[in-house]
C-alpha cells in the first residue's frame, strides 16, 4: 500500500510481480487463516470473532493512516489512536489467542490485549525512529520513505508540536536535495531539537506500560513476553 520496493531485505510482492498478484496473495493468506481457525476446538467461536474484529480494526487504522497522509494538523493523540488500531491490535491478538486457547479468565485475556496495544504503539514509534536513525541494510527497506511521501510519523508530529516555525522552515530547506543528504539533515534536526529523545521516551513509556500489564498474567506465563519486550526495547532494525 505504501509502494515500498523492499521489506525485510526482500523485494515486495508488488515489486517482484505486480499489484494484482499482491492483492491476490493477501486475499489467499486471509482465507487460509480462516481455514486454520476452523480447525480449533477450544473457544473457536470467540477466536473467530476476535480475529475478524481485529482484521477490521487494522483496515480502519490503515485507512486512517492513508487519510492523514500530508495532514499537518494530525495530533499526537490521533496518531497514537491510529497505530493502536494497526500494530497494537495485531500484536494484541497474537498474545490474546494463546490465552483463549488455554481458557484463561477474561481478566488475563483483557490484560494481554492491552499488553499488545502498548507494545504495538512502542514498536511503531520505534519504527518511525529507526527509519531515520538506522540504515537501509539493517532495516531491510529504504530509509525515510514515510517522511518523504509526507506520511505523518511520531518524529514529524513532535517536531511540529514543539518547534513549529523551525520545522516549517526546515521542510522548505530540504527540497530538491538527494535522499541521503535529506536523511542526514533530518537526523541533525531531530537530535538538535530533542525530538529523537522525546520519541524514544514515549516508546519506553509504552514498553513499561506493557510490562505492567503482565503483572495480571500468571507468573509462569510472563517470562517469554518479558524477554520479547526487552528485545523490542533494544532492537536496531
pLDDT over 70 at 8, yes or no: no
Give me the count of residues in the chain: 237
pLDDT in tens, 120-173: 999 999 999 998 888 766 655 555 566 666 778 999 999 999 999 999 999 888
pLDDT in tens, 196-233: 999 999 999 999 999 999 998 888 878 899 999 999 88
pLDDT over 80 at 100, yes or no: yes
For the record, the C-alpha cell of 92 comes out as: 494484541
For the record, the C-alpha cell of 154 comes out as: 511520531
pLDDT over 80 at 189, yes or no: yes
Out of 13-17, 79-83, 88-92, 184-188, which region has the weakest mean confidence (pLDDT)? Answer: 13-17
* DSSP, residue by residue, 124-144: HHHHHHHHHHS-HHHHTS-TT
What pLDDT was estimated at residue 17? 86
154-162 helix and 195-213 helix, angle to the nearest 10 degrees: 120
What pLDDT was estimated at residue 169? 93
Q: Kindly report the pTM of this predicted structure.
A: 0.85
Cβ–Cβ < 8 Å for 91, 123: yes
218 three-class SS: coil
What pLDDT was estimated at residue 177? 84
Q: What is the DSSP letter of 220?
A: G
Cα end-to-end span (Å), the chain: 21
pLDDT in tens, 40-77: 888 889 999 999 999 999 999 888 888 888 788 899 99
The full set of domains in the chain, from first to last, is 12-41 (no CATH), 44-233 (1.10.600.10)
Out of 73-77, 93-97, 105-109, 174-178, which region has the weakest mean confidence (pLDDT)? Answer: 174-178
Amino acid at each position: 500500500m505504501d509502494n515500498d520496493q523492499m521489506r525485510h531485505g526482500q523485494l515486495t510482492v508488488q515489486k517482484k510481480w505486480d499489484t494484482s498478484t499482491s492483492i491476490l496473495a493477501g486475499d489467499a493468506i486471509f482465507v487460509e487463516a480462516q481455514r486454520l481457525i476452523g480447525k480449533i476446538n477450544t473457544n473457536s467461536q470467540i477466536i473467530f470473532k476476535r480475529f475478524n474484529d481485529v482484521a477490521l480494526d487494522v483496515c480502519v487504522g490503515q485507512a486512517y493512516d492513508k487519510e492523514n497522509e500530508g495532514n499537518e494538523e494530525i495530533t499526537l493523540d490521533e496518531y497514537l489512536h491510529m497505530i493502536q488500531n494497526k500494530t497494537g491490535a495485531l500484536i494484541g491478538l497474537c498474545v490474546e489467542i494463546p490465552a483463549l486457547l488455554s481458557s484463561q479468565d477474561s481478566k488475563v485475556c483483557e490484560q494481554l490485549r492491552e499488553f499488545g496495544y502498548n507494545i504495538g504503539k512502542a514498536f511503531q514509534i520505534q519504527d518511525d525512529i529507526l527509519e531515520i536513525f538506522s540504515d537501509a541494510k539493517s532495516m531491510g527497506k529504504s530509509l525515510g520513505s514515510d517522511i518523504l511521501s509526507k506520511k505523518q510519523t511520531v518524529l514529524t508530529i513532535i517536531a511540529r508540536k514543539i518547534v513549529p516555525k523551525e520545522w516549517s522552515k526546515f521542510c522548505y530547506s530540504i527540497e530538491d536535495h538527494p535522499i541521503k543528504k535529506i536523511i542526514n539533515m533530518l537526523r541533525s534536526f531531530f537530535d538538535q531539537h530533542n525530538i529523537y529523545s522525546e520519541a524514544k521516551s514515549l516508546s519506553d513509556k509504552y514498553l513499561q506500560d506493557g510490562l505492567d500489564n503482565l503483572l495480571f498474567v500468571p507468573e509462569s506465563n510472563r517470562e517469554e513476553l518479558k524477554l520479547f519486550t526487552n528485545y523490542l526495547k533494544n532492537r536496531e532494525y
